[in-house]
Amino acid sequence: MNCEQSEMWMMEALDGVLSAPDHQQLTLHLETCSHCCVEWGALNALDTLLVHPVMMSPAPGFVGRVQARVDHFEAQRRTLLGGLILMGAAMAICLLAVPSLLGGRNPIEAYGAFLRGVYDLSGYIILLSYKLALALWLILDVLAKGAGIPLMTMLTYVVGAIMAALAWRRSLTSQRGAAPTMRRGS
Amino acid sequence: MDQEQRWIEAACQGDRDAFGHLVQAYQRPVYNLTYRMLGNAQEAEDAAQEVFMRVYRKLDTFDPDRKFSTWILSIASHYCIDRLRKRRLKWLSLEDERLPPVALTSHQPGPESNVIQSEREAQVQALLDTLSADYRAAVILHYWYDYSYEEIAETTGSTVSAIKSRLFRARRMLAQQLQAEAKTSTMALAY
């Protein structure tokens, strides 16, 4: 038997699942191998340390603190639901008021005109964004040519700087939790 | 239907008293796991509270064919493993209120035995702190909860062979660590 096998058998012996013949072979190996013998002693010492583990209990009032968190969570949920309902009602009222604001026209026509207006506005916003992006690209191109470096290299530096700034900001704020935890005495 | 099953069903219907009974029943196993995983009472308290909040939010997804204890400890171990992986060095204010851990009191009388027990507990926790999150979870579930390899695999979402391998390596590492500590203390005594 080699030491690798004996190590596995030591674990099985600690779990109480090693058969008697295998146990005998392990014992014989331990008598001849000082390294395994020392390891067996260490594993037994560990098992003795952990054989009667102590179960830790939380500080008194733990159930109350959890219940308080549950109450807080439910209150937040009710507030959110109430807010959504209120917003929905407000939107419904606004939509109902649109025809009268448009001078009493047919509601379907009025909504159609309204939706066409929204569509046209979206188109203008997209066009404006495109023009702004093009302008930014031209500015970067001029700057890159002036600095004598390729545009893609400059873009890589800019993107890298933005990501580093975001990562630094995230590391500063990463420890702020969303829900409050209740401390003893609160 | 047993009592626990009734509480679970009632809690799913929104009965907060029933949920309170579940918290009462499982506060010690959950807190012990979070304490052993995270190594300090304050974090363990926060983590245990968060575990129960997750249980509360996910209670309707609980499969009654599974053991509730396995399910809740699975949530706890996954949360603690994630937390350990995200852990960064924190500056702790000296004014922070630290909750002391409350252990089961020993039946042995006398302060000497309490001191010995505290030292033993500190040694056990220091040994656990040397393990990675996955190894630590396997050791805790094996020794503190007497889980089989299959149960540990189910709780941690791993395979039986992976758990056997983790426990094997973890025990070896802990035994070597214990050996090294014993040598250090022997040398210290010699001087």
CB B137 within 8 A of CB B81: yes
**Chain A: residue whose CA lies nearest to B56:** A70
Closest chain B C-alpha to A83 CA, distance in angstroms: 21
- In chain B, which segments carry CATH 1.10.10.10? 110-191
Closest chain A C-alpha to B17 CA, distance in angstroms: 9
Interface with chain A: mutation pick from B15, B37, B45, B186, highest number of A CBs within 10 Å:
B45
Pairwise CA distance, residues B97 & A22, whole Å: 54
Interface with chain B: mutation pick from A57, A74, A173, highest number of B CBs within 10 Å:
A57
Q: With respect to residue A117, please indicate whether it lies within any of the assigned structural domains.
A: yes
Q: Tell me how many helices (H) and strands (E) chain A has.
A: 6, 1
Q: With respect to residue A168, please indicate whether it lies within any of the assigned structural domains.
A: yes
Report the percent of chain B where pLDDT is more than 70: 84
> What is the ipTM for the molecules in this complex?
0.79
A67·B16 Cβ contact <8 A: yes
Closest chain A C-alpha to B191 CA, distance in angstroms: 24
Pairwise CA distance, residues A85 & A167, whole Å: 37
Q: What residue numbers bound the domain in which A138 lies? A: 107-173
- Domain B1-86 belongs to what topology? Rna Polymerase Sigma Factor; Chain: A (1.10.1740)
Q: Which of chain B's residues have a Cβ under 8 Å away from the Cβ of A184?
A: 97, 99
Tell me: pLDDT of B90 over 60. Answer: no
Q: What is the mean pLDDT of chain B?
A: 85
Work out the widest C-alpha separation in chain A, in whole angstroms.
Answer: 104
Q: Which of chain A's residues have a Cβ under 8 Å away from the Cβ of B108?
A: none
Tell me: pLDDT of B5 over 80. Answer: yes
Q: Stretch B3-8: mean pLDDT, rounded?
A: 91
Work out the widest C-alpha separation in chain B, in whole angstroms.
Answer: 67
Interface with chain A: mutation pick from B171, B173, B183, B185, highest number of A CBs within 10 Å:
B171
Q: Stretch B10-35: mean pLDDT, rounded?
A: 94
Of B49, B103, B120, the CB nearest to A57: B103
A56·B120 Cβ contact <8 A: no
A67·B182 Cβ contact <8 A: no
Q: Are A125 and A74 part of one and the same domain?
A: no
Q: With respect to residue A60, please indicate whether it lies within any of the assigned structural domains.
A: no
Q: With respect to residue A30, please indicate whether it lies within any of the assigned structural domains.
A: yes
Closest CA to A186 of B162, B106, B45: B45
Element (H, E) at B102: strand B102-103
CB pairs below 8 Å between A and B: how many?
Answer: 128
Query: Which is more confident, A92 or B33?
Result: B33
Q: With respect to residue A54, please indicate whether it lies within any of the assigned structural domains.
A: no
pLDDT at A176: 52
- β strands within A42-175, DSSP E: 56-57
Q: What is the pLDDT along chain A (186 residues), one digit of tens a residue?
A: 788 888 888 888 888 888 888 888 889 898 998 888 988 988 888 888 888 788 899 999 999 999 999 999 999 999 999 999 999 998 888 777 766 666 666 667 777 887 888 889 999 999 999 999 999 989 988 988 898 888 888 888 889 999 999 988 888 766 554 444 555 444
Q: Stretch B114-120: mean pLDDT, rounded?
A: 78
> What phi and psi values does residue A103 have, to the nearest 5 degrees?
85, 30
Q: Which of chain A's residues have a Cβ under 8 Å away from the Cβ of B57?
A: 73
Tell me: pLDDT of B107 over 70. Answer: no
A63·B23 Cβ contact <8 A: yes
A183·B97 Cβ contact <8 A: yes
A11·B121 Cβ contact <8 A: no
All residues at 6 or more sequence positions from A33 whose CB lies less than 8 Å from its CB, including other chains:
A3, A6
Q: Which of chain A's residues have a Cβ under 8 Å away from the Cβ of B29?
A: 55
Pairwise CA distance, residues A56 & B43, whole Å: 14
Tell me: pLDDT of B128 over 50. Answer: yes
Pairwise CA distance, residues A56 & A72, whole Å: 27
CB B9 within 8 A of CB B21: no
Closest CA to B44 of B103, B2, B3, B93: B103
- β strands within chain A, DSSP E: 56-57
Q: Are A96 and A115 part of one and the same domain?
A: no
Measured in whole angstroms, the distance separating CA B145 from the mean position of its chain's CA atoms is: 9
Tell me: pLDDT of B93 over 90. Answer: no
Spell out the CATH class of B110-191.
mainly alpha
A67·B20 Cβ contact <8 A: yes
Q: Are A134 and A157 part of one and the same domain?
A: yes
Q: With respect to residue A118, please indicate whether it lies within any of the assigned structural domains.
A: yes
